Structure 1
Amino acid sequence: MEMLDTERREAANWFRTLRDRIVAAFEELEDSFGGDGTAGRFEVSPTTRPDGGGGIMSVMRGGRVFEKIGVNWSEVHGTLNPRARTAMAARGVPGIDGDPRFWASGISLVAHMQNPHAPAVHMNTRMFWTPGAWWFGGGADLNPCIEYPEDTAHFHDTLRAACEPYGADYYQRFRDWADEYFFIPHRGRARGVGGIFFDDHNTGDWAADFAFTKAVGEAFLPAFLPLARARMAQPFDADDREAQLVHRGLYAEYNLVYDRGTKFGLETGHDATAVLMSLPPVAKWP
């Protein structure tokens, strides 16, 4: 496992490159929409983790298309605290009971849209390493407050195409995992219309698993950009806005109570503002 230095560097560099491409694509989308106000731009700031590493936090607020979007990249390292190690051991991560050192890198994105007809979206991909194990994780899920079946179909079809070259069962297995993972037990419902989710992914072939993870990341813009373009100028009224704000409340509940990445980031001392960038700018509860 100590021989993965080159692979870790390759993964971290790719996640950062993906972050750069997505930021550029979303600023181009802002420029393309001739709505009111100035086209949005990301505010970029470094983040630090006291025990080792940091990242880049990129947040846009009050754009023409995006009410709030965060695209974060990180590369962190240090030692896992007992709580984090216990949680990983409980879900069957191998080799986690030995040497507590860890390294992790990835990209995390959450977009909350101005237009209620345009769906909110989440995407992340990451690599995690300890001296006893390495694995990849990530996925993407769509969170419309007003669902359009054709949008849901396009999003899922794009993710299916990304998964199929790497395993005949990947799409269905990871779609089912997303349906289970992005479920809000105390509300008895999913937070959106699903997507794919995978974690602790290690087939023993690092290159193949990294290629799959890259395919998921590459699929994000083709899956989401057409939906944003189609809906960003659609007329909406006060009832549509109310539905959007109430739906955002569900999203906030999930991320604060259940989300694995939120828990890990806060428990391992990463920048709290970066960890919580996924929260919507405005939300309501009925």
Structure 2
Amino acid sequence: MTSDFDTRKAEAATWFRSLRDAIVAAFEALEDAGPGEAPAGRFEVSETRRAGAAGEDAGGGLMSVMRCGRVFEKVGVNVSTVHGQLGAKAQAAMAARGVPGIAEDPRFWASGISLVAHMQNPHVPAVHMNTRMFWTPHAWWFGGGADLNPCIDYAEDTAHFHAALKAACDAHDPGFYTRFKDWADEYFFVPHRGRARGVGGVFFDDLNTGDWDADFAFTKAVGQAFLPAFVPLVERRHATAWGEVERDIQLVHRGLYAEYNLVYDRGTKFGLETGHDANAVLMSLPPLAKWI
């Protein structure tokens, strides 16, 4: 599988980087058109590295973060391609998910894009999106999704976001949207609060139908659906008037988001356990939050 998949791994990594470039450009365009006279925000880009077990090169990526813009208070768009050997905890987690041969040969390769946006205006929803490919000598799969996290709900915004994701799913399998929407509702739930962290979206993992090209095409479709799903919501809400009441609601909701990402999020745990750059892994945390 190793030699057969070298080209496919490179193709996937190139795609995730191209999606990152498109999103960064679109978000900076939103900043240019944003309200107010403050300078439009721009992404600060830095390289990230993963430390291997013996200090060897284990891959890395780009961390792109914009802070204190006209539209975005903090947004990160990270892309990475890492490899090496899984540690004991990660091996156990993979084995529990049914990944074969991981104890005998713990090598892995993973590439993907991860995005989280926290907005200036409380009327504009926060959002998360990621897509990724994971490979071991015995298995490969895709995963990802997107979910909307408004602190002030607008039914029409939720409907638009879900409609864009549904269209992407339906083009590949009429059963995908219901299946992956339900999975998102289950995954993005905060048990100790007894509530969802937002209004959902789609989430999928361990996607391997046996047809790599079809599964990769679907993964790309989810990524391509993100900007049409989210940008119109930003354009609709970013100039809406708000004050201290709305800001307080936003900060409290961000506390819920931070709790989920630190306690439950699978990607956060994997990134920290496998030695990836901690700043990149924790990029998802909001710049400010509040707890009652």
Q: Same-fold call, TM > 0.5?
A: yes
Q: Which amino acid aligns with 2:64?
A: S
Q: Which runs of 5+ in 1 are unaligned?
A: none
Specify the alignment match of 1:121 in structure 2: 127
| Aligned 8 A contact 1:98 1:132 in 2 | no
Distance 1:89 1:248 in 2: 33
Specify the alignment match of 2:13 in structure 1: 12
Picking from 148, 163, 167, the partner of 1:157 is 163
Specify the alignment match of 2:102 in structure 1: 96
Does the alignment pair 1:35 with 2:36? yes
Picking from 238, 241, 245, the partner of 1:232 is 238
In the TM superposition, what is the alpha-carbon distance from 1:50 to its structure 2 partner? 1.3
Q: Which amino acid aligns with 1:171?
A: Y
Specify the alignment match of 2:146 in structure 1: 140
Q: Which runs of 5+ in 2 are unaligned?
A: 53-57
Does the alignment pair 1:219 with 2:225? yes
In the TM superposition, what is the alpha-carbon distance from 1:165 to its structure 2 partner? 1.7
Where does 1:205-284 land on structure 2 (aligned, <5 Å)? 205-284=211-290
Distance 1:115 1:172 in 2: 31
Paired residue secondary structure (2:102):
coil
Q: How much is the aligned-residue C-alpha RMSD, in angstroms?
A: 0.7
In the TM superposition, what is the alpha-carbon distance from 1:94 to its structure 2 partner? 3.5
Q: Give the TM-score of the pair, scaled to structure 1.
A: 0.99
In the TM superposition, what is the alpha-carbon distance from 1:82 to its structure 2 partner? 1.2
Q: 1:202 to 1:95 in 2, by over 3 A?
A: farther
In the TM superposition, what is the alpha-carbon distance from 1:237 to its structure 2 partner? 1.5
Count of residue pairs the alignment pairs up? 286
Distance 1:164 1:94 in 2: 31
Distance 1:274 1:142 in 2: 21
Distance 2:249 2:115 in 1: 22
Distance 1:28 1:222 in 2: 14
Identity %: 75
Describe the superposition over 1:49-105 as per-residue Cα deviations: whole angstroms up to 9, x where unpaired: 111000000000000000000000000000001100111221223343331000000
| Aligned 8 A contact 1:121 1:142 in 2 | yes
Distance 2:120 2:35 in 1: 14
Paired residue secondary structure (1:10):
helix
In the TM superposition, what is the alpha-carbon distance from 1:36 to its structure 2 partner? 3.1
Q: Which amino acid aligns with 2:25?
A: A
